[in-house]
Amino acid sequence: MNRFKQGVKHLRPQRVLAATAAVAVAGAGMSLVSMGTAAAAPGCSVAYTANSWGSGFTASIDITNSGDPITSWALEFDYAGNQAAGSAWGGTLTQTGKHVKIVNAAWNGSLASGAKTNVGFNGTYSGTNTKPTDFTLNGVACNGGTTNPTPTTTVSATVEPTVEPTVEPTVEPTQQPGEHLDNPFVGAKWYVNPDWSAKAAAEPGGSAVANQPTAVWLDTIAAINAPAGSGYTTSLRKHLDNALAQNATLAQFVIYNLPGRDCAALASNGELGPTEIDRYKSDYIDPIAAIQADPKYKSIRIVNIVEIDSLPNLVTNAGSSAGSTQACRDMLANGNYGTGIAYALSKLRAAGSNTYNYIDAAHHGWLGWDSNFAPAAKLFADTAKKATGGVNTVDGFITNTANYSALSEPFVKINTSVNGTSVRQSKWLDWNQYTDELTFAQAFRNQLVSAGFNSNIGMLIDTSRNGWGGSARPTAASTSTDLNTFVDASRIDRRIHAGNWCNQSGAGLGERPKAAPASGIDAYTWVKPPGESDGSSSLVPTGPNNPGGKGFDRMCDPTYTGNDRNGNSLSGALPNAPVSGAWFSAQFRQLLANAWPAL
For ligand BGC, give the closer residue by CB, 528 or 565.
Answer: 528
Q: Are 328 and 314 in contact (CB under 8 A)?
A: yes
For ligand BGC, the closer CB: 346 or 580: 580
The window from 73-81, 140-148, 454-462, 525-533 that contacts ligand BGC (CB under 6 A) reads 525-533
For position 361 contacting ligand BGC by CB under 6 A, the verdict is: no
Q: In the complex, what is the shortest distance from the CB of residue 486 to ligand BGC, in angstroms, rounded to a whole number?
A: 34
Cβ neighbours, 10 Å, residue 153: 8
- Distance CA(351)–CA(367), nearest Å, equals 31
Which stretches of 66-188 are assigned E, i.e. beta strand? 74-78, 84-89, 91-96, 99-104, 116-124, 135-137, 140-141, 151-158
Taking CB under 6 A as the rule, does residue 580 contact ligand BGC?
Answer: yes
Q: Which is nearer to ligand BGC, 8 or 305 (CB)?
A: 305
Amino acid (1-letter code) at residue 276: E
Report the alpha-carbon distance of residue 431 to residue 368 in Å, rounded: 9
Please identify which of the residues 68, 360, 534, 553 carries the catalytic annotation. Answer: 534
Alpha-carbon distance 288 to 597, whole Å? 36
Q: Give the residue with the Cβ less far from ligand BGC, 97 or 229.
A: 229
In whole angstroms, the minimum distance from the beta carbon of 195 to ligand BGC comes to 11
Closest residue by Cα to residue 345 from 391, 302, 311, 382 = 391
Are 385 and 129 in contact by the 8 Å Cβ rule? The answer is: no
Q: Which is nearer to ligand BGC, 122 or 503 (CB)?
A: 503
The helix (run of H) or strand (run of E) holding residue 289 is helix 286-292
Q: Judging by DSSP bridges, how do beta strands 116-124 and 56-65 pair with one another?
A: antiparallel
Binding ligand BGC (rule: CB under 6 A), the pick from 185, 217, 380, 552 is 217
Contact between 193 and ligand BGC per CB under 6 A: no
Q: Which of 219, 309, 370, 462 is catalytic?
A: 309
Which amino acid makes up residue 479? Answer: T
78 is catalytic: no
Find out whether 256 and 306 touch, Cβ atoms under 8 Å: no
What separation in angstroms does the CA of 478 have from each of 18, 52, 200, 481, 483? 51, 23, 36, 9, 10
Instruction: Please report whether residue 309 would count as binding ligand BGC according to CB under 6 A.
Output: no
Tell me if 579 sits within 8 A of 540, measured CB to CB: yes
Q: How far is the CB of 369 from ligand BGC (least distance, A)?
A: 25
Name the one range near ligand BGC by CB under 6 A: 198-206, 440-448, 480-488, 529-537.
529-537
Q: Is 284 one of the binding residues for ligand BGC (CB under 6 A)? A: no
Select from 452, 529, 551, 572 the one that contacts ligand BGC (CB under 6 A): 529
By the rule CB under 6 A, 532 interacts with ligand BGC = yes
**Residue 1 touching ligand BGC (CB under 6 A):** yes
Half-sphere exposure of 20 (CA within 13 A, CB side): 20
The SS3 assignment for 190 reads: strand
Q: Phi, psi (5° rounding) for residue 541?
A: -65, 150
Q: Are 308 and 1 in contact (CB under 8 A)?
A: yes
**Segment near ligand BGC (CB under 6 A); pick from 92-100, 339-347, 524-532, 560-568:** 524-532
Stretch that binds ligand BGC, among 45-53, 240-248, 385-393, 528-536 (CB under 6 A): 528-536
What is the spatial distance between Cα 509 and Cα 528, in angstroms, rounded to a whole number? 11
Q: Which residue, among 150, 169, 163, has the nearest Cα to 68 in the 3D structure? A: 150
581 counts as binding ligand BGC under rule CB under 6 A: yes
Decide: residue 261, CB within 10 A, 0-12 exposed, 13-18 middle, 19+ buried. Answer: buried
Q: Tell me the Ramachandran region of residue 390: left when phi exceeds 0, alpha when psi lies from -120 to 50, beta otherwise.
A: left
The verdict on 276 binding ligand BGC (CB under 6 A) reads: no
Q: Taking a C-beta distance cutoff of 8 angstroms, is the pair 65, 44 a contact? A: yes
- Which secondary-structure segment (H or E) carries 484? helix 483-490
Looking at beta carbons only, is 185 or 232 nearer to ligand BGC?
232
Residue 409 binds ligand BGC (CB under 6 A): no
534 binds ligand BGC (CB under 6 A): yes
- The least CB distance from residue 261 to ligand BGC, in Å, is 8
Of the two residues 265 and 487, which places its CB atom closer to ligand BGC in the complex?
A: 265
Output 268 or 536, the one with its CB closest to ligand BGC: 268
Tell me if residue 309 is catalytic: yes
Assess contact for 531 and 203: CB atoms under 8 A. Answer: yes
Nearest approach, Cβ of residue 308 and ligand BGC (Å): 8
Residue length of the chain: 599
Beta carbon of residue 408, minimum distance to ligand BGC (angstroms, whole number) = 25
Piece of 295-303, 328-336, 354-362, 526-534 that binds ligand BGC (CB under 6 A): 526-534
Query: Between 370-385 and 437-450, two packed helices, what is the crossing angle to 10 degrees?
Result: 50
Query: For residues 187 and 179, is the Cβ–Cβ distance under 8 A?
Result: no
Q: Which CB, 187 or 227, lies closer to ligand BGC?
A: 227
3-class SS at 570? coil
409 vs 534, beta carbon nearer ligand BGC: 534
> What's the CA gap between 179 and 372, in Å, rounded?
36
DSSP codes of every residue in 245-281:
HTT-SEEEEEE---TT-STT-STT--SS-TTTHHHII
Please work out the total of residues on this chain that contact ligand BGC, with binding judged by CB under 6 A: 11
Q: Would you say 67 or 529 has its CB closer to ligand BGC? A: 529
Residues found near ligand BGC in the complex (CB under 6 A)? 1, 217, 219, 268, 402, 528-529, 532, 534, 580-581
Active-site residue list? 309, 534
